[in-house]
Amino acid sequence: MLRSPRVALALTVLLSLAGTAPLSAQSHGSQPPAPAAAPQPAQTLVNTAVATAEAQRKNVLVYFSASWCGWCHRFATFLASPDAGKLMHDNFVIVRLDALESKDKAAQENPGADDLLKKMSGGVPTGIPFYFVLDGSGKKIGDSLIMPGHGNVGHPAEPDEVVAFVKQLETIAPRMTPAQRKEIGAYLDEMAGRKG
């Protein structure tokens, strides 16, 4: 409860000024916020990542995503996690490319991402998330088509997918220790609702 009419008046004035500050700033000629920058071309992002990976002695993991793709969001959550995600970032320069967007969000796509997806999947319809891995020289050393019948593991969630992904890490992340691979597998199992 306010004890003084002066305090109440001062608070009223401050709150009213705070509410009008943006209008005041606009009336003095400031510009509206700049529109979001257009997405960079897919190949430019990949080339930059390869150069960075070579300098850092890492590999490059490029994954394709879209705003509508729930499994893509899960894969992004995995890559952003403080423990398992850090292990991935310690071993890979990671690039997200937006592709296969709905027509109303096509402007979010990285130019050339759809074509790169087709090229790196060998033209096989894979769905997303789809990833491929390059070494520091830009040579492709793996992709997410590691399930039986050349199926896309996408975001590893089923037990056999987690096992296949962790096994693949032996070749695409050779500096990762067995204990680190096991930690990633445990994280993916926990994400899927399974406790080790």
Give the tens place of pLDDT for each residue, 174-192. Answer: 999 999 999 999 999 999 9
Largest Cα–Cα distance in the chain?
77
Q: What is the rounded CA–CA span in Å between residue 98 and residue 86?
A: 22
Burial label, 117 (beta-carbon count in 10 A; 0-12, 13-18, 19+): buried
- Domain 42-191 CATH superfamily: Glutaredoxin (3.40.30.10)
pLDDT digits (tens, 9 = 90+) for 39-50: 999 999 999 999
pLDDT (0 to 100) of residue 185: 98
Residue 30: pLDDT band with limits 50, 70, 90: low
User: Which residues fall within 8 angstroms of residue 118, CB to CB, at 6 or more apart?
Assistant: none
Domain ranges of the chain: 1-34, 42-191
Contact 144/152 with Cβ under 8 angstroms? yes
